Structure 1
Amino acid sequence: MEQANEGFLIIPGREYPFLSDKQVNEYFIKWSMKGRLNVATFTFDHMFVPYKADSFFTGFFDSPSVQNALTIPYTKTIVKINSVRCTLTNLDAFRKLSSVTHECGKIKTRLDDVFESILISDKLRECLLLEDSDSYSIFTEKEREEFLFRLFKHICIGGEICQQEDEIKPYIDTVRKIYRDLICVQKNPDSKAIEIVSYVYEVRVYVSELPGLIF
């Protein structure tokens, strides 16, 4: 697949249920995340092959239709990508959070601390952010690399004026809805197991004339 920046077209009107979910939107406002998580869907008139992901994303962000849809104000960009692990088909990994919550589901509190300008006032944030804490080790590095875990961490930390939840359930319920809408699965014809067929990437976009990240 050659780099082909004219092969992308946005699909207008594609709906993602979590974006119109009343409860999710209320949480997004509370967590200072309203407008911070955006979704757009595009078609591509070639076959995507993972080993050519670099040229795919370079072509994607150089495409006029993509730049217009995503309001990227520059025509030439520098793209850096990292593949993100995405294998989890359920939320069983989060059962480990029982060690940072009470039996009723309430998140355990702790003395306040600050990490990179983020207030750490409960065991959940301690588990997610403080590598030298005992609770950090309840998740393996492989689990932390998962797209599901990254989504969960993102909504738990929230924005600058995030109002934290006292209980774990709102975070679990919300990440379930988001993950379900973003990931495609299918049944393996041989094993009959449900498998994820989506590819997930972390993408950073730069402009050569500017010093910082633009997207």
Structure 2
Amino acid sequence: MDDETPFKFTFLPKQLPTLCNKDFRTYFEKWYLLDRLKAWTFSFDKPYQHYKSKEFLTDLLKDESVLQNIQIMGDSGSWGRMDSPSSVDIEQLKCSVTSMDFFDKLKKEGIVRENGSICKCFDEMYEGITISDELRKMILMEDSDNFESYSDDERLELIFKIFSHLVVGGPICQYEDNVQAYYDVTKSLYKDLVCVQKHAETKELVVKSEAYKVTAKDKSGTLMFPSTDEHEQTFAYVTIDPIKRHATILYHCWGKGLW
């Protein structure tokens, strides 16, 4: 009977350390992510099983404790409470990366120089985003020479998603000339979001968490979460720690009417 009852969630009033870090907050402000990149963590009341991921995430976004504590950006650009959705769609992300070596190919492909400086390119526009370097070009533009530097599977890695969103930033973003700040914040935020353990036999690090991209619609089938508008930089990711029984929502909205 317990298997059929909805998961119950309890809000944990704590911030992710990365979002509170004084040095990192300077970067978030520069990238126009400060107070716009948000995270909420909840505990849940019974064991999580992968085959129940859709039910789990649906229960999460319909839970009263969750709805009372998370905020979403509305059409006017103001923050407000989210209504209970009619349907929830999920896409599983990968969490197999345990080393920043994952980003070594940025240097191998000539996107980033050996000293960490990011190679520039002629300005182009994509969904209101100014692309003036090879890094953002690789992330966003499928017809760029370096887009295939990372495979489709690699682009589904949570750490790639985090890195990409930090690099692109918000609508009024001051970009970095050197990649190191992006590496530092990505590594810290990734560690906040996933649970890592050593394999008993191989002693290698293994990520135990699962991660999902989540969207939700209202009764009319209209997108309502993370926003009514789709955008490359509007997202809601949920990481599930089955050991601590914690679920964390990482949220950002590009916003409407900014340009």
Q: TM-score range by the shorter chain?
A: over 0.9
Any residues of structure 2 matched to 1:165-184 within 5 Å, and which?
A: 165-184=176-195
Shift of 1:53: 1.1
Q: After the TM superposition, which residues 180-195 of structure 1 pair with which residues of structure 2 at under 5 Å, given as runs?
A: 180-195=191-206
Match of 1:64 in 2: 64
Residue 209 of structure 1, CA deviation? 4.3
- Which residue in the other structure is 2:39 paired with? 39
What is the alpha-carbon distance in structure 1 between the residues aligned to residue 202 and residue 82 of structure 2? Answer: 47
1:92-171, aligned counterparts within 5 Å? 92-98=101-107, 99-171=110-182
Unaligned runs of 5+ in 1: none
Deviation at 1:3, TM superposition (A): 4.5
CA deviation string 1:77-123 (max 9, x = no partner)? 32111111110001111111111122322111111111222111111
Q: Deviation digits for residues 140-183 of structure 1, max 9, x if unmatched?
A: 22211100000000000001001111111111111011111111
Indicate which of 90, 95, 102 corresponds to 2:99: 90
Q: Distance in 2 between matches of 1:118 and 1:148?
A: 21
Partner of 1:78: 87
Distance in 1 (CA, whole Å) between partners of 2:82 and 2:195 is: 31
TM-score, scaled to structure 1: 0.93
Query: 2:70–2:82: 8 Å Cα contact kept in structure 1?
Result: no
One-letter code aligned to 1:168 = V
The aligned residue for residue 245 of structure 2 is none
Closer, same or farther: CA 102–73 of 1 in aligned 2, 3 Å: closer
Taking only aligned residues, the RMSD between alpha carbons, in angstroms, comes to 1.5
Residue 210 (structure 1) shift: 6.7
Q: Quick one: which amino acid aligns to residue 63 of structure 2? A: S
TM-score by length of 2: 0.78
Query: Aligned partners of 1:82, 1:16: CA distance in 2, in Å?
Result: 23
Match of 1:2 in 2: 4
- Say whether the 8 Å CA contact 1:61–1:77 is kept in structure 2: no
Moved over 6 A (4+): none
Q: Secondary structure at the match of 1:41?
A: strand
2:19 corresponds in structure 1 to 19
Count of residues in Structure 1 that have an aligned counterpart in Structure 2: 213
Deviates more, 1:146-155 or 1:90-99: 90-99
Greater fraction of residues in strand: 2
**What residue identity is the alignment partner of 1:121?**
S
Q: Distance in 1 between matches of 2:56 and 2:210?
A: 13
Letter in 1 for 2:10: L
Summarize the Cα distance change of 1:57–1:96 in structure 2 as closer, same or farther, 3 Å threshold: same
Indicate the percent of aligned positions where both proteins have the same amino acid.
34
Whether the 8 Å contact between 1:3 and 1:58 is mirrored in structure 2 is no
Between the aligned partners of 1:106 and 1:61, the Cα distance in structure 2 is 41
1:132 to partner: Cα distance: 1.3
Equivalent pair of 1:77/1:205 in contact (CA under 8 Å)? yes
Structure 1 counterpart of 2:21, one-letter code? D
**Which amino acid letter does the alignment assign opposite residue 128 of structure 2?**
S
2:93, 2:211 within 8 Å by CA — same for their partners in 1? Answer: yes
